Structure 1
Amino acid sequence: MTDATTATTPWLVAGLGNPGPEYAGHRHNAGFMVADLLAERMGGRFKAAGRGARAQVCEGRLGAPGSPEAQRVVLVKPMTYMNLSGGPVASIGGYLKIPLERTVVIHDELDIPFGALRLKRGGGDNGHNGLKSVTGTVGRDYLRVRFGVGRPPGRMEVAAFVLRDFSAAERKELDHLVDRAADAVETLIGSGLERAQNTYNS
């Protein structure tokens, strides 16, 4: 792909979660929370993607503070359940011809403490059904913004833990952490993975 083509190709930024108000505050919906804030920053609103994509999309521009120019971005929220997230991501990315190096997935991560972020390219799904679905449809070399939710306490099942609202103590910090994750996405697309990792991998 030429530099000129890359310059005109948008970024695809997909936040993972489960659709419906009953899931809105769950740990598993951290990706949706960050995507919603990014849409707000772009001054846009999510709308149905059409073309049978089973997703909501929001198009606009984002860029890290101090970046010379904002980047074209297509935000995506799959409207399937988590374990079928890959279909909408692949459909929209394929239709717009967006390569994996310009595809970002935002998701909750059990193996990172609550409040921490990790950015990376590629890797395994670590039991995350949304990532398993995305990787199965587009390959594994997309960029990831991993939002730490920590491990379940005691003997609580993982599924019960992620399909539960953040605790009262966690909710006191949540807005700030979602804001920081959105900043990380903007830095990633505006200044590159290495700069974003140096700034936000904690």
Structure 2
Amino acid sequence: MKAALRLIVGLGNPGSEYLTTRHNAGFWLLDIFSEALKTNFVYDKYFDGLISKVYRNSNNIIFFKPSTYMNNSGDALYRLVNFYKINPESILVLHDELDLPPGDIRVKFNGGSAGHNGLRSIQKVIGSDFWRIRIGIGHPRSLSSKQLVSDFVLDSPNSSEQRQINVAMDCCLNCIFDILDGNFETVRNKLKNT
């Protein structure tokens, strides 16, 4: 399924204290995309977030990092989506995923929030019919951690987990032009084989 992509949203929490936490994996991947495409984020007070734009095949694609906390990601997104008249099917959300081990990265269209508060906030605003890239961070249970999920996502991965996540993000970066062009079946197949 091909989508006319208009918006890529990275999920995370603002502030230096959250910079390296697992919950900021969406920010990490969007930063990697932005750096590769040599774009710069600028804070936009009206949209309450950091914005960058990429021009690709006669299409302007907005990169957006909400400056709200994760649980209120939908609040910032709502204003942006309404202003630019963006349909949910043209949105890609990058987010951390507990149900995937570190090093796994998957593409998905539609679905529930699986307890992810950022996704839940977005779904209240635009529904569920948007694309996602799910960045595996593991689950405390599967990683033999006694941390509560809420503490785990706000903690930094260990060096081994971080290496695995970085490799997955590099694989995703290798698909960047397919992502920008909305060729999500191609991306899905490439990521499946990594």
Write the distance in 2 (CA, Å) between the matches of 1:92 and 1:46.
Answer: 15
Which residue of the partner structure matches residue 75 of structure 1?
A: 63
Deviation string 1:107-130 (CA, Å, 9 cap, x unpaired) is 000001110111011100000000
Count of equivalent residues: 188
Normalization by structure 1: what TM-score? 0.85
**Alpha carbons of structure 1 residues 70 and 170: separation in structure 2 relative to 1, 3 Å:** farther
Write the distance in 1 (CA, Å) between the matches of 2:153 and 2:73.
Answer: 16
Contact 1:104 1:143 in 2 (8 A): yes
Deviation string 1:30-86 (CA, Å, 9 cap, x unpaired) is 0000111111122111111232x2111001135xxxxxx475310000000000001
| Aligned amino acid, residue 84 of structure 1 | N
| Aligned amino acid, residue 152 of structure 2 | F
* 2:152 paired with 1:161: yes
Write the distance in 1 (CA, Å) between the matches of 2:52 and 2:68.
Answer: 17
Write the distance in 1 (CA, Å) between the matches of 2:12 and 2:148.
Answer: 18
Write the distance in 2 (CA, Å) between the matches of 1:25 and 1:61.
Answer: 29
| Aligned amino acid, residue 91 of structure 1 | R
Contact 1:12 1:76 in 2 (8 A): yes
RMSD: 2.0
Match of 1:132 among 110, 120, 131: 120
Which residue of the partner structure matches residue 19 of structure 1?
A: 14
Write the distance in 2 (CA, Å) between the matches of 1:187 and 1:70.
Answer: 15
Write the distance in 2 (CA, Å) between the matches of 1:194 and 1:183.
Answer: 15
Write the distance in 1 (CA, Å) between the matches of 2:111 and 2:24.
Answer: 21
Contact 1:16 1:32 in 2 (8 A): yes
SS state at 2:181 partner: helix
SS state at 1:147 partner: strand
Contact 2:137 2:161 in 1 (8 A): no
| Aligned amino acid, residue 117 of structure 1 | I
Contact 2:41 2:52 in 1 (8 A): yes
Residue 106 of structure 1 deviates from its aligned partner by 0.2
Residue 16 of structure 1 deviates from its aligned partner by 0.1
> Unpaired runs of 5+ in structure 1?
1-5, 63-68
Which residue of the partner structure matches residue 172 of structure 1?
A: 163
SS state at 1:73 partner: strand
Which residue of the partner structure matches residue 58 of structure 1?
A: 52
1:43-54 equivalence runs, <5 A: 43-51=38-46, 53-54=47-48
> Unpaired runs of 5+ in structure 2?
none
